[in-house]
Structure 1
């Protein structure tokens, strides 16, 4: 029997690489997906991963035909994955009053939400036919309440959380599971540009360890670290007026047209 196979998007940096490393240590074969093919190859070589245990697929998840083609190529070259992780995502601040930011808004949704569904699509029928497998959608605690200046990211992650919940119901009884895993603040290139405090900041490797355990346990929904889950639930319970006052004056995420924080 071949080793199990995991298909991971956003595998050229951050959480994607940490997840790939964790599954590799567990003896899994890897299907690595991102736009930057050379960076994935350099990383795999640096990790000492043997060439016969991974394949690289260059794709842009925001372009449906691109990620769909990567999925089909994986099916042909490596077979049906045991786990598919839709990890690729972008986080950019937006100002709805600025016309150019609406284009940014559309790109964030195309990547974080539509791109997740497009990542899963090629594998649903083969997994259902086999009667096993798991889809993992990487959400965010930012999808639980809307944060000022984060409209695109919060909306995209809220939609991703709801989408995974819908898919879980659709696949009930097929043997194929769906897990939604919502990170808090993780030390990645995305978060290093933030202008505000990031409580319970985690290393990507620590997140990957817990996410791997959650996926293997068949968790349907989880927040990592658990402390951020508590914070998110408390924020959800706050009356709108109190929530708005609490967030008043909070630094906003940098917009695409602005330089990142030093």
Structure 2
């Protein structure tokens, strides 16, 4: 029997790379996707990964034709994956009074939302035909409440949660599962420039191990770590006046170029 196959976007660093290492350690084959394909290839070689167990596809999730072509190439070369993880994403602060930041918002939604749908697209019909498969959307605890200076990212991740929930209902009769994983603060290049406190910060490797187990468990939605899950439950019920007071003066996410 062939080894199970996982397809991961945004695999050249951070969470994506940590997930690739975790799945490889568990005996899976890897289909890894990123714009910087050469970097992933060099990393896989440096890790001593068996060349027969991984393949790299260069693609830009912002370009629909590019990421769809990568998915189709994976199916042709390695077969239909058992798990697809739409992990690629960007996080940039915006100031809506600044005209240039409207383009940043467009880029954020193209990457974090349209890119996710385009990532899943090539695999849905083959997974339906097979009657199995898992599509994983990487959201964020930032989806729960809007944070000052973080409007594009918070809005995009809230959209990830809603989109995955819709897709889960659509695909449930087919045997294809949709899982939403919402990371808290993970130590990656995306978070190291933050100018505010990051409670329950965890390493990308620890996150990957927990996400691996969540995806295998059959869960449909999970916040990692669990402490952030409790905090997000509280954030949902806190009245606006109290929430607004709590985030007043909070450091803003750095804008592009800062």
Name the structure 2 match of 1:28. 28
Name the structure 2 match of 1:220. 220
Aligned length: 258
Task: Determine the C-alpha separation between the residues in 2 that align with 1:216 and 1:96.
Answer: 40
Matches within 5 A, 1:197-208: 197-208=197-208
Name the structure 1 match of 2:87. 87
3-state SS of 2:222 partner:
strand
1:6 and 2:32 aligned: no
3-state SS of 1:171 partner:
helix
Name the structure 1 match of 2:41. 41
Name the structure 2 match of 1:192. 192
Task: Determine the C-alpha separation between the residues in 2 that align with 1:39 and 1:195.
Answer: 28
Q: Tell me the TM-score normalised to structure 1 length.
A: 0.98
Task: Determine the C-alpha separation between the residues in 1 that align with 2:140 and 2:63.
Answer: 22
Task: Determine the C-alpha separation between the residues in 1 that align with 2:54 and 2:80.
Answer: 14
3-state SS of 2:178 partner:
strand
Name the structure 2 match of 1:124. 124
Name the structure 1 match of 2:60. 60
**Which ranges of 4 or more aligned residues in structure 1 deviate by more than 6 Å?**
none
3-state SS of 1:191 partner:
coil
Task: Determine the C-alpha separation between the residues in 2 that align with 1:105 and 1:233.
Answer: 27
Q: Tell me the TM-score normalised to structure 2 length.
A: 0.99
Specify every segment of 5 or more residues in structure 2 that has no aligned partner in the other structure, as ranges: none
Task: Determine the C-alpha separation between the residues in 1 that align with 2:233 and 2:109.
Answer: 24
Q: CA deviation at 1:257?
A: 2.9
Name the structure 2 match of 1:165. 165
Q: CA deviation at 1:177?
A: 0.3
RMSD across aligned positions (CA): 0.6
Q: CA deviation at 1:232?
A: 1.0
1:168-219 deviations in Å (ceiling 9; x for gaps): 0000111110000000000000000100110000000000000000000111
Name the structure 2 match of 1:234. 234
3-state SS of 2:192 partner:
helix
Task: Determine the C-alpha separation between the residues in 1 that align with 2:95 and 2:153.
Answer: 12
Name the structure 2 match of 1:139. 139
Specify every segment of 5 or more residues in structure 1 that has no aligned partner in the other structure, as ranges: none
3-state SS of 1:193 partner:
coil
